Structure 1
Amino acid sequence: MPTSRHWAAVLLATLAIGGAAPFADAASPLPALDLTAAVVVAPDAAGPEKAAVDMLVDEVSKRTGVSWPLVPAAGQAKVRIVITHATGAKKPEGYSLRTERRGNQATLVIAGNDHRGVLFGIGHVLRTLAMAPGRVVLDQPLNLSTSPAQAERGHQIGYRFKNNTYDAWTLAQFEQQIRDLAVFGANAIQLIAPDSDDEPTSPLFPAPALDTVLGIAQLLDKYGLDCDLYYPEMRKDYADPATVAAELAAFEDLVKRFPHIHALYVPGGDPGHTPPNLLFPLLERQANILRRYHPGAQLWVSAQGFDQAFYEDFYRLLSRRPAWLTGVFFGPQSRDPLPVQRARIPRRYPIQFYPDIGHTLHAQFPVPEFDPVFALLEGREPINPRPRDQTLIFNRLAGLTTGFMTYSEGVNDDVNKVLWTRLGWSPATRPEETLRDYARYFMGGGPDDRLAALIPALERNWTGPIAENTGINATLQGFQALATEPALKDNWRFESLLYRATYDAYARARAGAEAGRQTDAMAALTQAPVQGSHDAMAAATAALSQPDDAETARLRDQLFDLAHRLWTHVGLQLSVPLYGASGIERGANLDRVDTSLNDRVWLTRRFADIARQPDEATRQRDLADIVAWTQPAPGTLYDDLGDPRREPHLVRGAGFDRDPELYASAIDGIADRTPDDGWRLSWITYAETLYERPIHLRYRHLDPGRRYTLRVTYAGEDYALPMRLKAGTGVEIHAALPRPNNPATLEFNIPVGAIRDGQLDLEWTRPPGLGGSGRGHQVAEAWLIPQP
């Protein structure tokens, strides 16, 4: 514990830096300060500063029942919280905090460099206080001056049908969200325009979209935060003058209704489809309209979705240095990585980050080597705290940007929002520190900071094969041990973390049971030569039909209970039929809870086909083919691509730690199917790479005297592109080939000359120069079969 002498030295240094003439005679501060009976002194608070002071008083009262009085002057109060302005030249949005004692009076000073500095200083105090019913304590003195490292620290809110939460919210809930983000240092909210790539309304809307969006804008004015507008250009053809005129009229009608717009963000794609040579003239005219109503408003554009030719047009137009443009933002579906864009974009234009913090797969930052069980059950948009990964992403890429506006689809990424906000203020912030503040402020902290320590355990649950991760059950037990804490009752943030921990444990239990059922079924099929084909298939069917045990059923029930509580407490839509989610892929993973995790459906359908065969010999042969799926001939080298445990020949590339967007790395993915659609698990999982990066398999120590056949299953998402396959020696295995169906299993003889010194490299590539997501070439299975 620091000594009083230490704290005195810190205080004197802080006063020397920050300037505190009224308190120049302050003596040593208290090692801890009981603020329960404090008064709040904020004589000059008005406008956004008054809103910030009200936030301080309200948020403390919510958590403790303590109502701090607002007084015009300190008087004889023994404990005071003084809210004032810093003196001298200071960086925007910064603040100083000082804890002082003068005689029998103790004072906590919050000195903002400007009105936002007051807000963020109050936020710092709120997330530092130890609060419990009837008690407010500052455990250690606060003596510091700080200002943000990045100018833009914002988050997107989409009041739209696709969203997994926000379309069920009222303005009161949005105000609470604005406060919660401001407490950690967010200075902007980006609103998606009511007309975008979505339905015009949601059955969950408590109010019309435009009314709510404008209401949020007014709330941002109240707190003095930036209101930004995300405005995709969605009309069909901007080469048509009538289309342009209609767009400009609609744009003007929208922006003139806003009380304030700080910045307009227009993506080139995702959504949108306008070539740069049409987009830039349109944006120039929109910039003039925007600034007519909002003088000084910024305009940012992205190259998302552009193909190689459009990128060259984009860079060429930027080289003309249009004066109406503020900068470029970098988001998902960008074929040129951020360092490439920074090198080619004129320095006069800053780049802002638009990171996807909400998705686990088919995303900008996929979870590396994601176990297919998690991908199938919990899906693309689950509760996804990723403190290690998000910190790594920020630290690798943030040096090229002036800030960020995160892409989000609701509250599944609540922890990630806070992590990004704190990193934007201070990139040196360790995730453990942020998580302690997060747990303390939103959930009371839990005994001994255990709750903060459990959040990274959820990220570790997704590390490595699910069957080998014994920490998953311990993580759930840790959350369950805290579930009776009074501060966590009806707390949606805790419920969401508990839901994830429960789902992880449920997924592990189901995965083990389903794998065991398939093992038993395969063992039954091996007895076909002895028992006969019909009896063997009956035994295999019985093995596949075994029910889950009581513990797994109990975890399933808990998921449904937690899902209902989360719907009630925060509007989180974890089911389409139960809670009105827009689709399973939009966070509604409760609807995946009973998904098969083995080949039961494919096998039983195959058994039905085999049973119709007229003779026993044919039935025996077909069953033997099933049993020998991965080893159709001795010495076969097999890869179930997309399953990290079963792809020994996949060349992974740089890997997530060096390449978090996986531009230069192999990606494990799954198709938009489940085994209940009649697909084998091995067809659902696939390896893919982005843009021109090849999918690369490498075989070593091959027999130079043998010829080989490649059997390959092309399967995955439906928008497949033609793929070319060649050996690393330059020998073509097949020319650009459209996938004949999904899935499609094909065979090719490996040509002489493809194998050199016992090594064979196979590389699949898609057509060069395309844009979009970069996906579309996917390989699900590969067998390298030695010929007799």
Structure 2
Amino acid sequence: MLLRHLLITTIFLVSGLSYGQNFNFSGAVIVPFGESERIPTYAKILKEELESRINSTFPIKQKEEAASPIILLTQYDAIQSLPKKWKKRLKDVEAMPGEGFKVVIDDTFSPPMAIIIGKDDRGLLFGIGHLLRKMDWSENHLLLNKGIEKTSSPKYPIRGHQLGYRPKTNAYDAFSVDRFDQYIRELALFGANSIEIMPPRTDDDFTSPHMTIPAIDMIGEQSRIADELDLDVWMWYPNMAEDYEDPKTRTIELTQRKDVFASIPRLDHLFVPGGDPGDLEPDVLFHWLEEVATVLHRFHPTAKIWVSPQVFRPTKAWFDQFFFHVNQKYDWFGGVVFGPWVKIPLPELRQLTDSSIPIRRYPDITHNLSSQYPIPEWDLAMAMTLGRESINPRPKDQKTIHNSLAHFANGSISYSEGTNDDVNKFIWTDQEWNPETKVLETLRDYSRFFFGPKWVDAATNGFLAQEENLRGRLLYNSSVSQALAQWQAMEEKADNKLMANFRFQMGLIRAYFDAYIQQKLLFETQQEQKAINVLQGSEKIGSLKSIEKATRILTEPASDPYLAQLKQRSLELADALYQSIGAQLTIESHGAASGRGNFIDNLEVPLNDSPWLLANLKAIQKVPEEKLREDKIKQLLNRTNPGPGGFYDNFGMGKSWNRVVKTKIWSQDPGGLYGPRESFGVGLKGQEWVHEIQAVGFGGTATPLAWMNQITTLYDTPLLIKYEELNPEKAYKIKIAYTGRFRSKMKLSTDDGHLIHDFIQTGAKPLYEFELSQSSYADGDLVLHWTCGEGERGVQVAEIWIIPKPD
């Protein structure tokens, strides 16, 4: 017995949760007690989750068995009805807020007893989740300890995630009913109290080849599953018709909504975005929503309608109308949603909205770029390959984003496009429950619950390392090799069950993918430099020979077997994820929607300037005269050279950001609504980086990598960049590369009011040159000030040259 006790104690210590004596609850009897009709469902969930992990049965009984430990499930209002011997153990339990729970490990008698008390149905479910997340278990043991005792209730009332069953998602469209049942359950066991579903008709196709049942049937099943758990059901329902002032359009649209509302057993809230998609003038929008409310309440009488001020090209008049209607407090109106492409920062949104009206956040936790919360100052090579929608654990960033704005809202339901943001979902749920929760604790719970206690430290550190892979220059990032070593060590010891676990597979594939991209970047950076070295010596060997040699270097494939191994393992894990949950990481093999999570298709994206160099070298080869060819090679190699005493900045490079004038640091403004952020893409079609703009002056058709990312401000937020140490006695001109996804009208002036250029529509060409007034840098400092007109998307600047003019 002593040896067995020491063994159990040792196991518990390894998990990091030891607080005194450990009690073996293997084979414990689950006793549900109370009048709620959901308690038997929750008891069944506890039984299934325990038995899926532990080689033991956990029978559900209505009374205790003398020789077995007990897990009692009850509610606060039922305590007084408990048998006397149990009730006296709970005599000191105080009332809890809604959705709260208390977990007690009672060792007064033998065998021991675990008691989970919920304030209400949800509180009991969340208490069960707490036990499952904190318990120590192996295949043969369930160990509980007083260290898991806790009384807790959530800080924010809205905690959930969007689970859209449509082709645009990177895995949800392949989910079966059982898979959704398990996924929704897992979110609830970590404290989520809501899910958000979508109608069959959105800004996406009606069907997907991956769908297991029709969308109209699946949303009914999602609603049923949530209702069985007592989770609120929200629906995101965009306005997809062209003219909502047309009575015929409204009749057709209302009929469609009637069919959708009738198909789902529970709907608590309807979220209708003001735009993205479905831009409507507020007067039209709110009149239309009043008609929708009439249909909605035929099937779901208490449901409320929420709206967001999402609009791509907003104006003051639009917002004035919007908030006029918001503050009328219509009977059907539920609240305001703050999400992507909402121009007004959340603190100001709270001020514009009556204090009695709730605000729900709609955080984009799923996208890396071109999104609400892009990865800050991200390396271009990672952006070009991981793309917009990769597997993206960002635990520390997500906590910062949550906590910077949480107190202005009533909680959140995240914007998600699939399982790629799985870790982020659990971080957000934990932060909505308690913003003081440390990221480390959430990751430990996640790893313990999904992988097992023995993997807690390794997996937690592995996820933290993968977030570090996203920070700073990839070429010098030592975290990449460390993350790979950590995940490979787990892979070596993992059994078949863990290797088939999609969450483990997602951790592994990012470790291999990041390592491959880093090694590929190293090879291609060296490759480019070798080619440049050859071209710089072209006068010695002749232009044509140097072009031929440089071309051969730039087109030479990598032959390193280590690179090949990393790539092959990434492909194998992509296939494994497709088999386990239908994750679509490639278009051809897995049927992904282009640009929707298919980052494995980017394994061979060039990471150096070889496409631009090769295109221009090919053009230079056709020049008939040697002298002209030499001159053009020099122009090519000196593209970024501003000349003696000049300045050059590429805003994809970290050092150039030192010139940017910022009013807030990233943690205060993670969405970039007050100041600058980074953006990517000259022209983006799906996940392919499309070279749209001709390289000026060389005849080539590719663009330099520097045009692939920009410093950006949104809407009419000004962009300020400061240059110091100009020579006041010299004349300068400025050359600017305007690239990016926005096609905005932009104006550039200086801080002294000198106009460099009035509003111009960007996108017609990349490069512009202007004279600088010497009075604008009379003290040696030049402050450049960009603004956009009302209703524009924002400022985007890729490169700047400050070029001294000849004396």
Structure-1-length-normalised TM-score: 0.93
2:55 alignment partner, one of 65, 79, 82: 65
In 1, the alpha carbon distance for the partners of 2:147 and 2:658 equals 55
Q: Are 2:354 and 1:346 aligned?
A: yes
Output the amino acid matched with 2:52: K
Q: Are 2:746 and 1:723 aligned?
A: yes
Output the amino acid matched with 1:485: A
- For the 8 Å contact 1:472–1:501, the answer to whether it is kept is yes
Q: Are 2:662 and 1:662 aligned?
A: no
In 1, the alpha carbon distance for the partners of 2:231 and 2:411 equals 15
Q: Secondary structure at the match of 2:449?
A: helix
In 1, the alpha carbon distance for the partners of 2:327 and 2:62 equals 56
Q: Are 2:646 and 1:640 aligned?
A: no
- For the 8 Å contact 1:444–1:488, the answer to whether it is kept is no
Match in the other structure for 2:259: 253
**Greater CA drift, 199-208 or 644-653:** 644-653
Q: Secondary structure at the match of 1:232?
A: coil
- For 1:715-739, what per-residue CA distance to the aligned partner results, in whole angstroms no more than 9, with x for missing partners? 222x411211112211111111123
Match in the other structure for 1:12: none
In 2, the alpha carbon distance for the partners of 1:421 and 1:192 equals 20
Deviation at residue 278 of structure 1 after TM alignment: 0.6
In 1, the alpha carbon distance for the partners of 2:790 and 2:297 equals 40
Match in the other structure for 2:310: 304
- For 1:316-375, what per-residue CA distance to the aligned partner results, in whole angstroms no more than 9, with x for missing partners? 222333232121111110011111110011112111111111111111011110111110
Output the amino acid matched with 1:603: L
Deviation at residue 140 of structure 1 after TM alignment: 4.2
Match in the other structure for 2:405: 397
Match in the other structure for 2:764: 741
Structure 1 residues 351 and 694, CA gap change in structure 2 (3 angstroms):
same
Q: Are 2:640 and 1:630 aligned?
A: yes
Q: Are 2:231 and 1:225 aligned?
A: yes
- For the 8 Å contact 2:447–2:456, the answer to whether it is kept is no
Output the amino acid matched with 2:448: R
Q: Are 2:578 and 1:567 aligned?
A: yes
Structure 1 residues 739 and 141, CA gap change in structure 2 (3 angstroms):
closer
Output the amino acid matched with 1:688: T
1:151 alignment partner, one of 157, 160, 163: 157
In 1, the alpha carbon distance for the partners of 2:447 and 2:24 equals 21
Output the amino acid matched with 1:542: R
In 2, the alpha carbon distance for the partners of 1:490 and 1:139 equals 30
Deviation at residue 30 of structure 1 after TM alignment: 6.7
Deviation at residue 266 of structure 1 after TM alignment: 0.9
In 2, the alpha carbon distance for the partners of 1:348 and 1:740 equals 44
- For the 8 Å contact 1:633–1:785, the answer to whether it is kept is yes
- For the 8 Å contact 2:168–2:417, the answer to whether it is kept is yes
Deviation at residue 533 of structure 1 after TM alignment: 0.3
Structure 1 residues 647 and 402, CA gap change in structure 2 (3 angstroms):
closer
- For the 8 Å contact 1:642–1:667, the answer to whether it is kept is no
Match in the other structure for 1:325: 333
Q: Are 2:216 and 1:210 aligned?
A: yes
Q: Are 2:499 and 1:489 aligned?
A: yes
- For 1:219-276, what per-residue CA distance to the aligned partner results, in whole angstroms no more than 9, with x for missing partners? 1122221111111111111111222222222222221222111111111012211111
Deviation at residue 399 of structure 1 after TM alignment: 0.4
Q: Are 2:758 and 1:750 aligned?
A: no
**Greater CA drift, 670-679 or 219-228:** 670-679
2:23 alignment partner, one of 22, 33, 54: 33
- For the 8 Å contact 1:598–1:680, the answer to whether it is kept is no
In 1, the alpha carbon distance for the partners of 2:626 and 2:655 equals 36
- For the 8 Å contact 2:728–2:774, the answer to whether it is kept is no
Match in the other structure for 1:681: 705
In 2, the alpha carbon distance for the partners of 1:176 and 1:331 equals 27
In 2, the alpha carbon distance for the partners of 1:403 and 1:323 equals 22
Q: Which runs of 5+ in 2 are unaligned?
A: 1-18, 78-93, 692-701
Percent sequence identity over matched residues? 34
Q: Are 2:790 and 1:768 aligned?
A: yes
**Greater CA drift, 248-257 or 267-276:** 248-257
After the TM superposition, which residues 494-643 of structure 1 pair with which residues of structure 2 at under 5 Å, given as runs?
494-548=504-558, 549-583=560-594, 585-643=595-653
Q: Secondary structure at the match of 1:580?
A: coil
Output the amino acid matched with 1:430: K
Structure 1 residues 576 and 214, CA gap change in structure 2 (3 angstroms):
same
Deviation at residue 206 of structure 1 after TM alignment: 1.2
**Greater CA drift, 284-293 or 468-477:** 284-293
- For the 8 Å contact 1:599–1:675, the answer to whether it is kept is no
Q: Secondary structure at the match of 2:612?
A: helix
After the TM superposition, which residues 105-116 of structure 1 pair with which residues of structure 2 at under 5 Å, given as runs?
105-116=111-122
Deviation at residue 445 of structure 1 after TM alignment: 3.8
Structure-2-length-normalised TM-score: 0.91
Q: Are 2:96 and 1:85 aligned?
A: no
- For the 8 Å contact 1:33–1:140, the answer to whether it is kept is no
In 2, the alpha carbon distance for the partners of 1:167 and 1:31 equals 47
In 2, the alpha carbon distance for the partners of 1:140 and 1:511 equals 51
Structure 1 residues 122 and 472, CA gap change in structure 2 (3 angstroms):
same
Structure 1 residues 448 and 94, CA gap change in structure 2 (3 angstroms):
closer
Q: Secondary structure at the match of 1:424?
A: helix
**Greater CA drift, 747-756 or 524-533:** 747-756
- For the 8 Å contact 2:335–2:358, the answer to whether it is kept is yes
In 2, the alpha carbon distance for the partners of 1:479 and 1:626 equals 43
Q: Are 2:795 and 1:781 aligned?
A: no
- For 1:633-679, what per-residue CA distance to the aligned partner results, in whole angstroms no more than 9, with x for missing partners? 22221111233245553335523112111112222221145677422
Q: Secondary structure at the match of 1:399?
A: helix
Deviation at residue 315 of structure 1 after TM alignment: 1.3
2:716 alignment partner, one of 692, 697, 705: 692
- For the 8 Å contact 1:47–1:222, the answer to whether it is kept is no
In 2, the alpha carbon distance for the partners of 1:646 and 1:522 equals 23
Q: Secondary structure at the match of 2:753?
A: coil
Match in the other structure for 2:434: 426
Q: Secondary structure at the match of 2:347?
A: helix
Match in the other structure for 2:4: none
Q: Are 2:740 and 1:712 aligned?
A: no
Match in the other structure for 2:44: 54
Structure 1 residues 552 and 140, CA gap change in structure 2 (3 angstroms):
farther
Q: Which runs of 5+ in 1 are unaligned?
A: 1-28
Q: Tell me the matched-pair count.
A: 753
Match in the other structure for 2:11: none
In 2, the alpha carbon distance for the partners of 1:325 and 1:273 equals 19
Deviation at residue 43 of structure 1 after TM alignment: 4.3
- For the 8 Å contact 1:366–1:661, the answer to whether it is kept is yes
Structure 1 residues 530 and 676, CA gap change in structure 2 (3 angstroms):
farther
1:166 alignment partner, one of 166, 172, 176: 172
Match in the other structure for 1:290: 296
Match in the other structure for 1:4: none
**Greater CA drift, 585-594 or 653-662:** 653-662
- For the 8 Å contact 2:466–2:479, the answer to whether it is kept is no
**Greater CA drift, 493-502 or 243-252:** 243-252
- For 1:563-618, what per-residue CA distance to the aligned partner results, in whole angstroms no more than 9, with x for missing partners? 011111111110111111111x2110011110001111111111111111111110
- For 1:284-342, what per-residue CA distance to the aligned partner results, in whole angstroms no more than 9, with x for missing partners? 22222222321221221111114332111111222333232121111110011111110
- For 1:686-718, what per-residue CA distance to the aligned partner results, in whole angstroms no more than 9, with x for missing partners? 21111112232211011111111111122222x
Deviation at residue 48 of structure 1 after TM alignment: 2.6
Q: Secondary structure at the match of 1:102?
A: coil
In 2, the alpha carbon distance for the partners of 1:755 and 1:368 equals 31
Match in the other structure for 1:188: 194
**Greater CA drift, 163-172 or 467-476:** 467-476
Output the amino acid matched with 1:126: L
Deviation at residue 212 of structure 1 after TM alignment: 0.7
- For 1:163-206, what per-residue CA distance to the aligned partner results, in whole angstroms no more than 9, with x for missing partners? 01100111000001011101101111110111111111111111
RMSD (Å) for aligned C-alpha atoms: 1.7
In 2, the alpha carbon distance for the partners of 1:473 and 1:122 equals 38
In 1, the alpha carbon distance for the partners of 2:235 and 2:689 equals 41
Deviation at residue 446 of structure 1 after TM alignment: 3.6
